[in-house]
Amino acid sequence: MAAFCLLLAIPILAYPPALPGSEKLKKVSEAHRGGDGDGERNQEAFTKIKQIPRALFALLRNPTFFFLNLAGASEGLVISGFAVFLPKLIENQFSVTAVWSALLMGIITVPAGGGGTFLGGYLVKKLHLSCSGIIKFCLFATIFAALFTVCFFLSCPNLTFAGVTAPYFPHENLDSPYAHSTEPRDLYYLPKNLDNACNDRCACSRRNYEPICGADGIMYYSPCHAGCSEEINLENAKVYRDCTCINATFHGETGPLYGGGSYDAVNTMCQSQCDHLWIFVVLCFLVMFFTFLATMPALSATLRCVHDDQRSFALGIQWIKVRVLGTIPAPMIFGRLIDETCILWQESSCDDHGACLVYDNAFMSKYMLLLALIGKACSILFFFGAWFYYIPPKVINSGESHPQQDVLKATDDAGVKLEGVVMLQDANLLLF
């Protein structure tokens, strides 16, 4: 990433202090006009260290800038949180491998993030949106992103896990609620009872987590917990025989990848019967697309709602807020709630739990939906506040033939290109 930023800096260094022809164009400021008429004195950027408080105070009194900062923080929180924990959600909800979940994450984020970012900047340029129009564009894009968070309603049932989501021999225990179904009904039924009469002679340790899938369609903590006495190493996997806790047998014709003959278990995760994966991927792609569709317009609105000589300082203040209120606490907030959905922790040697082994899929989906909706609701509220409190500057009729909109259109080629350089740099920060 550092090398990429270094390469990106080389063409940026080739830009002149001012683009050719910019001196001939009249620059129309769209900076927010304060209601108290404080004049240009308090709006100027600082030239000395002691003037920083005055410049900061002037920015904080700009409600449009203030609300855009908060919207950036809430969006940063959602993006950073899902960047870390969305692969874990996919892996556990749909019972796929960590490699496949990471690949799906890339399929979602790379085209959605890149496409949304560049399309948002292109639409601002193509439609010649004013500052107020840009903020409304961000508002509607965020509303659409919030609508597609329905993807987190898609929840798959937990795999049947012996001693965790279902007891051992659920079909033989007629008094058990699982007697006629392998679907787990109460995920906290046996959260720590991994021992059973079928494996009580094995002295199994919970520190060695080696999940296997039995021929009865039930997951077991390890071959030891399944009571297996024979292990066979094949080219593609390990299979187990003579498992006292498994009351069914795989046959060669049903498992050609694992050779002929019969066996009781294999060292893979059981296959989930849930078929919502690709629906989830499409909806999640749309959430990401509309989220990133608003990033470049929001940055453009930030640059336009402050005075020209305040832009660099304003961007610095904005990114401090985005980091402190959004991207830094996001992993901690998401991680804390995700840990609440854990129903089986791995034991460690320090009398403390290690990594989470099994999550409650229903609660994980609910918590992710809750976080997404709260984040998007805050963003919608903040974008609305930025638009509602924005006061455009007064237009002074100087007798020229070009109205303000025509001048803004003409200055796009000189001014907006300079903004594009800053936007490209900050897009990399937001994407990574």
- 3-state SS string for 168-196: CCCCCCCCCCCCCCCCCCCCCCCCCCCCC
pLDDT computed for residue 77 by the predictor: 92
Which residue ranges make up each domain of the chain? 64-155+277-393+406-431, 157-271
Q: How far apart are the first and last CA of the chain?
A: 9
| CA dist., res. 118 & res. 122, Å (int) | 6
**How far is it, in rounded angstroms, from Cα 195 to Cα 201?**
10
Contact 237, 223 (CB under 8 A): no
Half-sphere CA count of 250, side-chain side, radius 13 A: 24
| pTM score, whole prediction | 0.73
CB 237 within 8 A of CB 257: yes
CA distance 253 to 230: 20
Q: Which helix (H) or strand (E) holds 345?
A: strand 342-347
- Give the C-alpha separation, 170 to 190, whole Å: 12
Strand partners, 212: 220
- Residue 27, number of CB atoms within 10 A of its CB: 13
Please report the DSSP string for 271-310 in residue order. PP----HHHHHHHHHHHHHHHHHTHHHHHHHHHHSS-GGG
Q: What's the confidence (pLDDT) of residue 410?
A: 38
**Rounded distance between C-alpha atoms, residue 417 and residue 179, angstroms:** 68
Please state, in angstroms and rounded to a whole number, the distance separating the CA atoms of residues 135 and 133.
5
Alpha-carbon distance of 93 to 278, in angstroms, equals 12
* Amino acid (1-letter code) at residue 76: G
For the chain, give the number of residues.
Answer: 432
Domain 64-155+277-393+406-431, CATH class in plain words: mainly alpha
For residue 263, what pLDDT is reported?
Answer: 81
Q: Side chain identity at 142, as an amino acid letter? A: T
Q: What does the pLDDT profile of the chain (432 residues) look like in tens digits?
A: 788 888 888 888 887 877 676 555 445 555 555 555 444 444 455 556 666 777 777 777 888 889 999 999 999 999 999 888 888 888 888 888 888 888 988 888 889 989 999 999 899 888 888 888 999 999 999 999 999 998 888 888 888 888 888 877 755 544 444 443 444 444 444 445 777 888 888 888 878 888 888 888 888 888 888 888 888 888 778 888 888 888 766 544 444 445 556 788 888 888 878 888 889 999 999 999 999 999 999 998 888 888 877 788 888 888 888 999 988 999 899 989 888 888 888 776 665 667 888 888 888 888 999 999 999 999 999 999 999 988 887 654 444 444 444 444 433 433 334 344 344 444 444 433
Radius of gyration of the chain measured on its C-alpha atoms = 29
For residue 147, give every residue at least 6 positions away whose Cβ sits within 8 Å of its Cβ, in sequence order, or none.
none
